[in-house]
Each structure stands twice: as C-alpha cells, then as structure tokens.
Chain A
Amino acid sequence: MSAVMEAAPTATRKQSQNSWAAVIALALFEARRLLITIPVLLGFLVYAAWIVWRAQDYADGYPALQDADRATQGGPLLVGLAVLLAVNQAVLRSLRRDTERHFTVLVMSRAHRTAAHLLSVVPAALLTAVCVAGQFGWQALKPGALGHGSLGELLVGPLTVLAFGAAGVLIARVIRTPFTAPLVVVFFLFLFLLSTGAGIDEGWTRWLTPVIGVSSSNTLPSDLIGRPAAWHALYLAALGLTVALLAMLAGGGHRARSVYAGFAGALALTVLGAVAQGQGVSSEVTAARERATLHPEHVQTCVERDGSRYCAFPEWRGRTAEWARTVAEVRSLAGGTAHDQSLLVRQRLDARYGLDGDAALDPATTPHQVTVGTTWGGNRVPEFSAAVAGVLVTGDEKTTGELCDGRMVTIMWLALAGQSDPIGSLKNVRLDDSVSGSAIVLSQTNPLSMTAGQTTVVRKLLEQPRDGVAAKVRTNWTELTSPKVTTARVAELLGVKAKVGADKCN
C-alpha cells in the first residue's frame, strides 16, 4: 500500500480551504504573467506618460483637489482595455494550446480556475490605484493646492480596470474565439474614448459609462459639484462584480447556489447604483449653488489685510494672502488716492449650471470691488492684477470693462510691471498671445480690449526700468486716470515716442 493510499481523506473544510489557497496561487501566477504581457505593459507605460504629461499641464495653475480627483479617470481606461485583452487571452490559452484536455483532469475545477483568472486582474487594479494615488498626491502636495478630493471620483480608475478585466474573462468564457476581445476593445474604445464630446447624453444614461467627462472647466467649491461620485463608484464596483459573477456562472460555477445569490445581489446593487446616480442634482445642492452665485457673501468668510477686505469661499481661505500680495504690488505702483485705496476683493463664481456649462461673470458694479475667480496661478495672476489695476484707475469693474481710452495703458502697465516677466505676462493675458497689434485681454469678468497703439505704448513702458516709469505715473496720476485722456496724450506724459492711432471703441 502506498503512502498516498494510507493518507486518510482529510476533512472537507480543510480541503475547501486548500482549494481556495490554490485559487490564490493560480491568481498570483496569472497576475504576474498578466502584468508582463505586451498590451498591459504598453498600457501602463502610456498611462504613466499621460500622468506626467497631465502634471506638466497643471503646472501653470494651482490645483483644486475637487478637479484633480476627476483628472485621474481618463488614463485607467486605456489600462482597462489592455487588461481586458490580456486576461481574455490568458483564459483562452489552455484552449488555444490544447492543454485543456490535461487540465480538466487536474484537481482544480473550471469554476475555481475562472475565479483565479478574475482575481488575477486585482493586482493590475491595485497598481492603477497606486498610479491614481500618485497622480492625485502629486497635485495635493503642490504648494497652493486646496479643496477636497472625493474618494468616489478617485476609485473610478481602479474600478474601471477591475470591471474591464472581469469583462475580459466573461468574454472568454462565453465566446471561445481569440478575435472577440480585440473587437470588443475597438467597440469600447470608440464608445469611451472617441465619442467623448460628440453627442453627450444629458440624461441619466450618461452615467452608465465608467468615466463621465464634464463640459466645463469651472472650478467649484467641492460641496457645489453635485456629481454622484459615491453612487457611481458603487455602481462601477457592483457592475464589475456582476460581470465577474456572470463569468463564474459561464465558467463552471453554475452548480453553486452561492454564485447565483451573489449574482442576484450584485445585479441589485448595480441597478441601485444606476438609479441613485441618475437622480440628478439634489435640490439642496441647487439651492446652495444659487446662494453661492447670487449671494456669495452669505457663505464666504472675509479677512482684513493691509486695509483691504478679502472674501473667499471657505476652501479658498488660504489663498487670500496671495491675492493681498498681488493687490499690494499693483497699489504700490499707483499714485494719488489709489495708492492707499482700500478694496473689497470678493471671490465670485457662477455655479448655477454646475459643471455642465461655462457662464461668464458680470463685472461688479460696486465701487472698489474686485472679482477673483476660483482658479489661481499662471495666467490667472496677471488677469487678477489687471482687474485690480482697472478698479484702482476707474473706480469699479463695470467701467473698466467699457473703457476705451488712454487709461488702458496705465491699467495694463500697473497690472504687469510688478510681474516677474512683464512682457511674457502681457503675451499670456492677451487672447492671441501677441505683443503687438490690437487684442482682447482676458479677465475674470468681461474682457478688455487693447488697440495696436496702446499695445505698443504698454510694451515700450514695460521694457523701461520700472521705477522710472512709476515715478512718472505717480506725478501724472490725475491726468492719466481722467476719463477723457487719449492714448497719444498718455504716451506723451510717460515719455514714449510711438505712433499711436486714435482710440476707438468697438
């Protein structure tokens, strides 16, 4: 009698533990192979490059974390598709290589092998989670980062990879041909990557796709975003689980009652998530959006700095110091009463359309009130300083917006002379990135317009030493800021020799 025969049949419980341990071992084996298949390697490589590229993209603005969380969602789609393809090929491997005949008589059942393939996707999802965390953490650790990320939005990337992986196993268990998965990938690719922007559905159905883009570049306070992020994460997780359990049913698990029960439960959760996320924006959020848009003073807190008031939404409180620094810079160059003029800097936004629309803000009509938006850094700084200069010169924002005379030169010089690279900033605040000719100047509210003559004068002033020009500005402040001054006269007062055409309004 051989030793094997003498071994008494072990208890069932121990054996089932053993088979799950074997499932884990197979899942680890398959996961290791999955991560080194060419599509997955390329997928992660491109994903990593995308993360780095996106980080560069943000470099000119200070990130708001309620935007940075959503920005982590696009890249994992690519990884997910690669995983779908690779896991599908892994499941079909034993059929393709004719080892199935051998493997069916080995101890592990087909259902357990299906389970192992499903689990083999998990490390790829975890790696995606690490990438997401890295991408988000990179933004969060930047100086000037503010706001709150949402865990629901951050989970979308890894959950997408899981769901796509489960789909890859399901496809292999249902259709045993190697060309199905690439075709499904093409289909998904079109559905999720190419069709973005084209005919976005406004209804609840748009939430059924894994990644839902937004059509606006608004940055809103995190409590006004109104995206059902948590419900969507639940929906995605439940969808992935449903697909996985369906794969189990198709892959030999149809005898186990627990799989049916799990499938029914997961399906119910998916439906729950789909319904809950499609409810639209709640009335509380709508009310809060209206309040923040029309009566921001009710939700903002204000601080006093150097005699001016700075009112910001709670998440932006930390940024008032930066605004104050910009205001101080502009004010130090101004003359007359403007030099000591106290201002009210109020953060304003139009949140009524959520993230679905961009609405321009109307300029403030209150004297000495300056509007600041929700984004900061890069071009937003000279845009803000232009608004400050405009209010210092004309008295209020609305007048600045309608202005078309020589005061424009003073405003632009005040706004830009304090910047570290005045000519570069001039280029950046102009819509067409030019330093000559007429152009639109971007602003937080209504845009300003510069004539070719004004541009020439401003450029020549910016090229001169700042202190010299500042002295002339202070000396001639009253005339420079009088409503009827022409650009030619301003040029003369400030000692710029240039051909300046007549001021014209459009």
Chain B
Amino acid sequence: MTSTVSAEGLSLHYGGTRALDDVSLRLTRGVTGLLGPNGAGKTTLLRVLATAVPADRGAFTVLGNDPGTARGRQEVRRRLGYLPQTPGFHPDFTAFEFVDYVAILKELTDRGARHREVRRVLDEVDLGDVRGKRIKKLSGGMRQRVALAASLIGDPGFLVLDEPTVGLDPEQRMRFRELIARAGEGRTVLLSTHQTEDVAMLCHRVVVMAGGRIRFDGTPAELTAVAAGRVWNSAERDPGAKAGWRTGTGSFRNVGHPPAGADLTDPTLEDGYLLTLDDAGVEVAAA
C-alpha cells in the first residue's frame, strides 16, 4: 500500500533532552498504534506530525504535502485531525458551539455546510442528542468524544490521536475503539496509547518508541511474536524472569529468558511490548 505519511530522520531536542532521535516512519491507511512508556517521545512525535512544533532535523510529508513550507503546512493542516492529550474545552460553549468553533478555525466558511458537517461529526460520535448541552455539564467520556468530533471535522485524511482512551471506563473505551475503527476506514490514523488491548484490537500496525527512538515497527502479530517462547508459568517467582506476577490462579506468569523445560505459554501483545522495551535497554518494572 502507498504510504500517506512518511518521515525521514526526525530529531528534536528540548534543552539537553533528546525527545526525538532520528525517527523515520511510513504510515499507510488504517490505524497505526504508537506504544511506549511515559517520556518515550510519543507526544513529541505526534506534535511534530501535527505541525504543532517543527523538528530540529529531518523532514516529513503528509498526503503529499511538505509542512516545511508555509503553504505546505497550511495544506497539511487542512487535511489533519488532531486530538491532543488532555484536550482543553471552553466549558461555557455547547458541544455544538465548540465543534463549530473548531470548524471555523479549520476555515469551513459556508455556514450551512459547516453546520451540517458539525452535526454529522457529532452524530458520528453519538453526541447528536446532547449537542445543545454546555460542555461543563457533560461527563468526562462525553467531553472526550466532543474532542474526537472536533478532530473529525472536515473529514481529515490524517488523524492524530494522543491517548484518547485515557480515563475512560471499559464501556466507554469499547465505544471509543469502535469510533476509532470507523474513523480508520479510508483514513490514516496514528493512535498513541498505553493500552496494549487498544492496539491489539484496532491496529493493523504498531510502532514502539522508547528514549526518542523507534524500537519496533511491524504488525501486532509480529510484536506478539517477539515474546514467542519467552513466556512461561511457574509455581514460584522465577528469579531469571524480566518481569513476573502472580496470576489469579495462584501460579506465576514470567516473561524473559525461560529456564530449560519451562512450562511455556502463549504470549500476548503486551508480552511482546515488554520484551521489546527490555531488549532496547529500558527498565521494565518487575511486579
């Protein structure tokens, strides 16, 4: 499949910290998951790709436009949907007003068409019934959906979602996954998350970052496969394990280098993620 977003050698420094270190990336249509511990540079990468901050070095194109030029950046912004981490709201606005406001800032000028579009995205995130309510009266999950609706305005070709499922309850998270999956049909979606289940259920591709670098880039199955033969059960905590925890059944589940003759078990995506980080030299918290 042709790549819609491609980045070459992106680097960004904050003072002495390397937030991004020579990141190269190609995204295609569908949902790509971005995993990584806190401070891995996920948000920085998303902000660079969303044209919020320019990179120190490197270049990228979004849907054929180069955001390095003023006109190119405008073109990118016309085709971009961005849901920031902890998005702000104007609590005195109604959901409709807020999304309408964003639509105006996206330069949707025809009033009738804009209002239709605002109603469409609000319906798309199932907020059609409460669009006249002030945001301060909405629950956290509803607010998050308002933010998603705002990012869907104008049918963007490239959608950047920064931890959209944080703080949602399981049911809301399920709904959100459904929405993101729907949004990923025909679009390029880059989804940053801490939830490996999100990636497992939504993404056709997953990128793992740590320390400002990309440590893994492949399909979820490939990431799971990293842990093949490296997960086992034992009666006691295995001292050789990188991480291990007592499961509900009473036995220990260990991740790492199994001793000979260990009771190997099927790995999950999370196991693969943990071992990828471990291979990259990132401290993995042992429970």
Interface set of A (CB-CB < 8 Å, partner B): 1-2, 4-5, 9, 12, 15, 18-19, 21-22, 24-26, 29, 93-94, 97-108, 113
Contact = CB atoms under 8 A, between A and B. Distances in A.
A98 B91 CA distance: 11
A98 B104 CA distance: 18
7 shortest interchain CB distances as A-B pairs = A98-B88, A21-B109, A99-B88, A22-B107, A106-B105, A4-B157, A97-B88
Most chain A CB neighbours (cut-off 10 Å) among B102, B104, B187: B104
A106 B77 contact: yes
Given A4-B79, A4-B155, A93-B90, A103 B109 contact: no
Contacts of A9: 71, 75
B218 interface: no
Interface of B: 2, 4, 29, 50-52, 63-64, 71, 74-75, 77-80, 82, 84, 86-91, 97, 100-102, 104-109, 111, 114, 150, 155-157, 186-187
Nearest to A116: B104
Most chain B CB neighbours (cut-off 10 Å) among A1, A2, A98, A106: A106
A98 to B, nearest CB: 3
A277 to B, nearest CB: 40
A97 B50 contact: no
Contacts of B64: 5
Given A2-B4, A103-B102, A105-B80, 4 more contacts: A15-B74, A19-B107, A94-B88, A102-B87
A21 B109 CA distance: 6
A99 B52 CA distance: 13
B2 A103 contact: no
* Chain A interface, DSSP helix/strand/loop, else mixed: helix
Nearest to A95: B88
Given A2-B187, A4-B157, A107-B77, A101 B107 contact: no
Nearest to A108: B105
Given A101-B88, A102-B84, A18 B104 contact: no
Contact of B157 (A2, A102, A105): A2
B157 A5 contact: yes
Nearest to A25: B104
A97 B91 contact: yes
A105 B77 contact: yes
A1 B2 contact: yes
Given A101-B84, A102-B150, A107-B78, A5 B107 contact: no
Contacts of B111: 25
A102 B82 contact: yes
Given A2-B187, A97-B89, A105-B50, A25 B109 contact: yes
A15 B71 CA distance: 10
Given A4-B155, A105-B52, A106-B102, A18 B107 contact: yes
Given A4-B79, A26-B105, A102 B88 contact: yes
Given A4-B63, A93-B90, A106-B102, A18 B80 contact: no
B104 A29 contact: yes
A97 B104 contact: no
Contacts of A93: 90
Contacts of A2: 4, 29, 63, 157, 186-187
B105 A107 contact: yes
A99 B90 contact: yes
Contacts of A94: 88, 90
